[in-house]
Structures are given as structure tokens and as C-alpha cells.
Amino acid sequence: MDRLTEYLFPKQVSTFAQDIDNLFYFIFYTSLALLAIVTFGMIYLAIKYRFKKNDEVRLTSSTDHNSILESSFVIIPLILVSITFVWGIKSYLNMVTVPNDAIEIKVTGQSWFWTFDYPEGGSTLNELVVPSGVPIKIVLSSKDVLHSFYIPVMRAKMDVLPNRYNVMWFDARHEGIYPIFCTEYCGTGHSQMNAQVVVMNPKQYNVWLAEAGSEDDDLPLDELGAKLYSKKACITCHTLDGSPLVGPSYLQTSQMWGQERVFDDGSSATIDDNYIRNSILEPQSQIVAGYQGVMPTYQGLLNDRELDALIAFLKTLKEDSEI
Amino acid sequence: MSDNHHNNYLTYPKGIMSWLLTLDHKRIGLMYLFGGMFFFFLAGVIALGMRLALATPEADFITNDQYNSMYTLHGAIMIFLFIIPAIPGALGNILLPLMLGARDVAFPRLNLFSFYLYSLGAVFVIYTILAGGVDTGWTFYTPYSTSSTTNVIPMTLGIFIIGFSSILTGLNFIATIHKMRIKGLTWYKLPLFVWALYGTSLVQITATPVIAITMVLLILERLLGIGIFDPALGGDPVLFQHFFWFYSHPAVYIMILPAFGIISEIIPVHSRKKIWGYKFIAYSTLSIAFIGFLVWGHHMFTSGQSVFSQIVFSFITYFVGIPTGIKIFSWMLTMYKGQVSFTPPMLYALSFLFLFTIGGLTGIFLGAVALDIHLHDTYFVVAHFHYVMQGGTIIAFLGGLHHWWPKSFGAMYNQTIANICAIGVFVSFNGTFFPQFLLGLRGMPRRYATYAQEYADIHSYSTFWSGILGLSIFIAVVNLLWSLRKNNKLDPGTNPWGALTMEWTHTTSPPHPHNFEEEPVLTHGPYDYDKVLVKPTLKRK
Ligand SMILES: [Cu+2]
Ligand SMILES: [Cu+2]
């Protein structure tokens, strides 16, 4: 990668990234030439024919066309845009033709996090793990409003719709960790609806698949909870510093341990282990007064140990804040 | 004409009611002008607030929700309350009958009604702001807009009503251009500003009903739960995007064609030179207006539409590019063998040429499907449309304002200050928006209240220049308004630029309440700088 590309673009990770950047350069340099003609032409004419202090106001020339000049203004741009068009379509066809041997990963967007389901059965949240050098087919759908799944280093983007599956694919050439953004506006947490793609070499990937999740087995509960808190996207809606975001701050809930929570229908309940568990698995059943029922259910996304961990972590917050 | 007490439309008739109930196109134009400028100011202040928040990656002094509401209001107000209604409504109203030698537009009462519809729509928008804003983006994409708890209904209702104001103004202008020209003023003798208004009006009456219906469907879906766009109710969200862009792409031409018209007037006058390629500019206006209806799908290259649609929309998109490109060369060549003066309107026109060329060329990047996949919904798009809408339309509007200011008010602003502001606007505009192309290339998504650290430097650079940009425009406008002070009136006969269009050669500045004191007779074409010599004069009273 030359210096200019490094300056202008995110790293070229997918197989088609380079072709797309080259298409950019083609348009860029022709545009630069056209812009130079307009700019210098304009400056030259304006200065050459400027009205000087001692000039006399007079009738000016009646020239107002020149067939050769005008036809070249049509023909040259026509040739240039034809090349651009054909190139744009050719590269595009390459981007939509998914190789047959691609690994299929299901991506679900929901306000405001991403879930990734792997063919072998595992699932991750806000972290897409893929092997390098293998085509990956991404099948996208949304659980609520529109989102758009964008991986800048892959030069790939696709809208995520609630009522149909959209597909995109890429083949990553370089290992590393790269950002994923949501690029279709989806409300309060839109700009925090980020994830990562982790590109591993195929061997590591297989090891990862086999071990997925088990590495956490020996973490103490509260540490695991702290980890899950950001990994499972609680952090996009709940702060740890006491200020409300989309939902009440986790710290506030912790400090109110044992006290009454009032819900929007006027009922109330004591904040205890069962209440927290229920809030995570069935958030719509009791909606804290003053908030909206937008918390997604984590049914099926967290196992019992993970739920315990999140609760344990919640309890530690109160103690920490009292020190 | 001097001591006749009702010699100009500003002073006669008198009284507030004579303004509120006026049927005079010039007064209605001024009311649009001040209404539009108010909303321009409001949306501009909101924009500066956003830029300030974007100076650092965190949403410092505002919440995400406030940011989302701000960017929605900024876009919606700029587009629906300033750019779309203000140029045709203000400059179009003031100038069209004068350029045709007519006493007024074809339907003066309808014209006043349009203005009140605009005002009513504006009331809904102001209500929306006071009630806490709306956070869907000016695009109102479903199903988010169906489920958002913010004030979607008042806002869309406002846009619905303003849409009718646009349609009626368009209708009025078309009838006026067809029926109110004086004897001998054939189509090819019309100033190009009139052609531009004609093209704009055609798009207004054909495209606007579609957005109006779409807004109604959205309101019905929210109120009655009828499933049209929301999949939860059996609707299709992509259908909304088709409806929306079927209007909103042509709306780009509602916004830019009048600017083309203004530039086609400014450059010949201030170069004292016949316009280059008159017929080409006239016809390209109409062809752009027509082709503009066939390219809406280029806003949806990542929506998952069929490969065939992608190819067709990309192909047609390039066809709009070509006539636009030739116009730019025509304006540039108009200066050839002329006498170019660096007046404020001319500086704005030259800025326009540069900025709009960048706006147009970056559209070519976005029209190439494979590249658009990377750039769609990033800051590249934000920069692109600001180069078109602000660098193009608003710069042309400022140029037009400076050009026709002495005509409309019979007063001349300080031209040195105006020139400095024009240069200030040019430099700071580039400082603000050019870096945003880079942000987009590097993958920074739009509509983000917070963003990754790696984009921070470019963002704060952009914020710095946006402050200067705001200041330059503000001073430019104050400079204009300051010219309205007492004892600064021009001699009614002055023609400060030596212009040949009828509003300069056949009536006073400011014009007579009935436009022309006697039936005007066509004496020359609008660009006959090779045949008719009118010396610029700037006499004070
Ligand atoms: Cu989003
Ligand atoms: Cu468009």
C-alpha cells in the first residue's frame, strides 16, 4: 500500500478493497484534471478580461459558441463517465457474487448491538470472529428498525432490514481487529452501535470455535460480569457512573439494592436477585417508570453462570462506590 | 417620477395590513425573503451547535437524543423552510414578473395564499421544536419514524402543508411564464433565470405530491396502525425509501436549478458579455429536470435492491452529470472577451463555479456503485451534498441577494465588506467541508453523536472553520441590512452593474408598485452586451 492510500483509506483487508480504491483513484485523477481546467480557465479568463480602472465601458464581443469546443465538452466527459460506469458495475458484480465455498455467518442487528451466529452453533455479541483467506458470507436481518452493517476495511456495507435477508460477503487477507459501524440511523444508541471484526488465521479460528466461551470458566463471577457488561452491550444503554442513559445507571440500581422500584404501570417490586434476573430475561414485563421499554430480551443469549456473573458485578458496584 | 409619493412598492401603500394582505409579488417575495432568512439563521445556529459538539469524540454538553434532534431539525429546516421555498419564493417572486414585463404573477391571490400556507407549515415546525424536537433525520425512514416517540406527526404535517405552498407557487409561475410575457418576448429572449424557474416549477408540481402523499401515509400508519411501511404491521420499509427519494432526488433540482438561473444572470452582467451557449443552458435546464426523475435509486445502493436496478440507476445518474458539466463550461466561457468586474455578486458566482464543480464531481464517485458501497452514509456524502447545497445553492443565493439588493431596496451595501465576506465564506466553507471528504473515505459514518478517537483531529479542524463560516455569512447579511439605514437611498434610476435585463432597464430601483409606470416595450434581449451599452451608475439621492 502506498502512502497516499494509507492516508486516505482504512487498511485494505478484503480481496476487493484494492480494486475499489483503484476505481476511486481513477475518478479522483480525472476529476482533478477537470477541476483544474475549470479553476485555471476561470482564473485565466477573469484576470485576462478584467475591467481595469482606466478602461472604457464598451460593447463586447458577440462570440457565444464554438462547435469544436462544445462537442469536446460532451465527448470527453462521456468517455470518462462510461469508463467509470463500467468499472463501477464490474467491481460491483464481483462484490455480490458470493463464492460457493463461503462460510455463512448470521448477523442480527437490534437496537443497539449486533449478534453473530456461527454455522457450528456458537454465538457472539458485538464481536465477529472470522478466519483469514476464506470467503465469509454474511446474512443480515434486523429485529426492529433499519440498521446498516459496515466494515470500512472490507469496503463492504449492507442495510439490515426487519422483513428480509440481505447478503454480503468478503474474504479477509490480513489478520487483525477492525471496527464495524452501524450506518443506518437507528435512534439514541446509533453512534454506539459498534462492533469489531477479529480476523484470525484459520488454525486459530478452529481453536477459537472449539473453546468459544470456555476460557471464561475460571474467571471469578464479578470479573466475568464486568467483562460481559461491555461484551454483551449493556454498556450502550446503562452507565456505570450514576447518570441515566437509555436505561437507569447500573450504579443506581446497585445503590437501590433492597429498595422498591416503581414501574410505569404504577406497580412496584423490591430490587433483589430475582428482580435483576427477570429484568434481563424479560425486560418488557416490568418497565421502570420514566424509561421506555426498549431493552431487548437476553433470553438465549446468556447462560445461568453469565446471569449470575452480571448480578455479582452489579452488587460490587455499590460497595466500590461506598469506599 | 421623484416627488410622486407612491413611486415605489416599499413605501406605498402604507400600513401593516397593506403588507399582510398585499397581492404585490414584490412584497410577497420580501416576506418570503425574511421568513427564509429567519429559518436560515435558525438552522445555521443549530448546525454550529452540532459542530461544537462534534469537536471532540464524546457528546460533550448534549445528549445523544439532543444531537439526533439537532441534526434532524438542521436538515429539515434548511431544506423545507429555507432552500426549497426561499429562492423561488423570494427572488423568483420579486423578479419573475419584472423580467417578463408583467404587472404581477398570473394569480396574485393564490400567491399570497401560498405564502400563508408556508407560514402555517412553519408554525408546525416551530411547534415541533418547542415540543422537544424530532429525531428521525429529515429522511423519516420507516420503521424508525413509525416507532419514534418524538414529534414526528407535527413535523411531517408541517412538511405536507409547505408542500402545497410549493405546488401552488410552481403552478403560478408556469402560468405566469406562459401567459404574462410582453409582446415580442419570445421563449428564446427570456432571461435564463426565467427558464430556470420554469424547470423548477415543473418539478415542483410533478414531484411534490409524492412527498405529500408519503407523509400522509406515514401519519396514517402512526395514528391508525395501517401497515404500509412497518413490517410489524405487514408493510415494507424499502417502499418508503422509494417514495421518499422519488420526490427527494428531483427536489435536489428544485434546490439547484434556481441557483443555476441566478448564476446565468450574474456572470453575463458582471462580465458585460453575452452569455455563452444560451440555448444549451435553456434546454439542459429542462433535460436535467426530466432526467432527475429517473435516478432516485442511487440513494439506495445498499438497500438490497436488485442488481439490475443498481445498474440502471447508476447508468442514468451519469446522464444528469453531462448537461450539468457543460453548463459549468458555458458560464466559464462567458467571461471570454468580456469586461469582468470583481463585484460581490461576481465573487460569489466564481466561488459557485469552483464549489459546485467539486460538488458535482464528487457525485460521480457516489454514482459508481462499487465505490458508493464504501461511501454511502458516511461523511463523504455529507461533504458532497453540502458542496452542492451550500457551495452551490446558498452561495448562488447570496450572490443573487447582493446582485438584486439595490434593485429590491434602492440601497447599496458596502461593497468592500461584501467582497471580504464573500472571500471569507469561500475559504471557511472549504475549511469546514473539504476535510469531511477525508472523514468519509476513512469510514466515519454520518448521524453520529459520538465517534471514534481516530477521527477527532479532522472533526475539530472542521469545527474551527465552521465558526468562521458562520461569522462570515452573518457579517455579510448584517452588511446588507445596514445599507437599509436612513439617508442611504440610491437615485431610483441607478443601474449599478449596467445590466440589460428588463428589471434593470425598464423600471426604477425600487420598482414602482405596479412594476412599470407605463406599458413596457421590448427594446433589446437580456444579454445583448454586444449591441446595447448601458453604463453602470451609482448615484445617491
Ligand atoms: Cu444505527
Ligand atoms: Cu439523488
All cell numbers assigned to B125: 415546525
How far apart (Å, rounded) are the C-alpha atoms in residues B326 and B321? 9
The residue of B377, B387, B524 whose CB has the most chain A CBs within 10 angstroms, and thus the best one to mutate to test that interface, is B377
Nearest beta carbon to residue A38 from set B357, B370, B451: B357
Q: What angle do CA A100, A105, A111 make, to 5 degrees?
A: 145
CA of A157 to the centre of ligand 2 (A): 19
Q: Which residues in chain B touch residue A292, judged by CB atoms under 8 angstroms apart?
A: 149
Q: Which residues in chain A touch residue B304, judged by CB atoms under 8 angstroms apart?
A: 158-159, 161, 164, 166
The CATH code of domain B16-505 reads 1.20.210.10
Structure confidence at residue B2 (pLDDT): 43
CA of A161 to the centre of ligand 2 (A): 22
Mean pLDDT by 10 residues, chain A (323 residues): 88 94 95 96 96 90 88 88 92 92 94 89 87 95 94 96 93 96 94 94 89 69 86 85 86 89 89 90 88 82 86 85 64
CA of B416 to the centre of ligand 1 (A): 47
Q: Which residues in chain B touch residue A8, judged by CB atoms under 8 angstroms apart?
A: 438, 441-442
The residue of A6, A19, A42 whose CB has the most chain B CBs within 10 angstroms, and thus the best one to mutate to test that interface, is A42
Percent of chain B at pLDDT > 70 equals 99
Contact B385, B362 (CB under 8 A): no
> Given an 8 Å threshold on Cβ–Cβ distance, is A41 in contact with B357?
no
Which ligand has the nearest atom to the CA of B448? Answer: 1
Instruction: Give the model confidence (pLDDT) of B179-219 as tens digits.
Output: 999 999 999 999 999 999 999 999 999 999 999 999 999 99
Structure confidence at residue A214 (pLDDT): 59
CATH fold of the domain at A103-212: Immunoglobulin-like (2.60.40)
Query: What residue ranges of chain A are covered by domains with CATH 2.60.40.420?
Result: 103-212
How far apart (Å, rounded) are the C-alpha atoms in residues A242 and A60? 74
Q: What mean pLDDT do residues B315-338 have? A: 91
Which is nearest to B474 in space by CA: B80, B42, B11? B42
Residue entry with cell 446509533? A190
> Given an 8 Å threshold on Cβ–Cβ distance, is A23 in contact with B368?
yes
CA of B42 to the centre of ligand 1 (A): 27
CATH 3.30.420.10 fits A2-51+64-96, yes or no: no
Structure confidence at residue A304 (pLDDT): 84
Structure confidence at residue B220 (pLDDT): 93
> Given an 8 Å threshold on Cβ–Cβ distance, is B377 in contact with A157?
yes
Please tell me the distance in Å from A123's CA to the nearest CA on chain B.
25
Which ligand has the nearest atom to the CA of B207? Answer: 2
Answer CATH for A218-322 from 3.90.700.10, 3.40.50.20, 3.30.43.10, 1.10.760.10: 1.10.760.10
> Given an 8 Å threshold on Cβ–Cβ distance, is A146 in contact with B369?
no
CA of B369 to the centre of ligand 1 (A): 22
Please tell me the distance in Å from A218's CA to the nearest CA on chain B.
33
CA of B447 to the centre of ligand 1 (A): 9
CA of B452 to the centre of ligand 1 (A): 15
Which ligand has the nearest atom to the CA of B314? Answer: 2
pLDDT at B84 over 70: yes
pLDDT at B3 over 70: no
Which residues touch B43 (CB under 8 Å, ≥6 apart)?
Answer: B73, B74, B77, B78, B81, B82
Nearest beta carbon to residue B335 from set A45, A181, A185: A45
DSSP state letters, A1-15: --HHHHHHSS---BT
> Given an 8 Å threshold on Cβ–Cβ distance, is A145 in contact with B143?
yes
Nearest beta carbon to residue B337 from set A63, A84, A96: A63
How far the first Cα of chain B sits from its last, in Å, is: 13
Please tell me the distance in Å from B395's CA to the nearest CA on chain A.
17
Q: What mean pLDDT do residues B271-298 have? A: 93
ipTM: 0.93
> Given an 8 Å threshold on Cβ–Cβ distance, is A85 in contact with B357?
no
Which is nearest to B212 in space by CA: B169, B236, B173, B246? B246
Query: What residue ranges of chain A are covered by domains with CATH 1.10.760.10?
Result: 218-322
Q: What mean pLDDT do residues B20-24 have? A: 94
How far apart (Å, rounded) are the C-alpha atoms in residues B538 and A217? 87
CA of B212 to the centre of ligand 2 (A): 18
Whole-model pTM?
0.90
Structure confidence at residue B214 (pLDDT): 94
Please tell me the distance in Å from A121's CA to the nearest CA on chain B.
27
Residue A181, SS3 per DSSP: strand
Instruction: Give the model confidence (pLDDT) of B448-485 as tens digits.
Output: 999 999 999 999 999 999 999 999 999 999 999 999 99
CA of B431 to the centre of ligand 1 (A): 28
Query: What residue ranges of chain A are covered by domains with CATH 1.10.287.90?
Result: 2-51+64-96
Please tell me the distance in Å from A93's CA to the nearest CA on chain B.
8
Q: What mean pLDDT do residues B128-148 have? A: 92
> Given an 8 Å threshold on Cβ–Cβ distance, is B314 in contact with A185?
no
Long-range CB contacts for residues A218-221, cutoff 8 Å, separation at least 24? A221/A305, A221/A308, A221/A309, A221/A312, A221/A313
- Whole-number average pLDDT of chain B: 93
The residue of B138, B295, B301, B302 whose CB has the most chain A CBs within 10 angstroms, and thus the best one to mutate to test that interface, is B302
Q: How far is CA A179 from CA A3, A17, A277, B164, B376, in A?
A: 21, 16, 31, 45, 17
Structure confidence at residue A213 (pLDDT): 58
Longest dimension (CA), chain A: 92
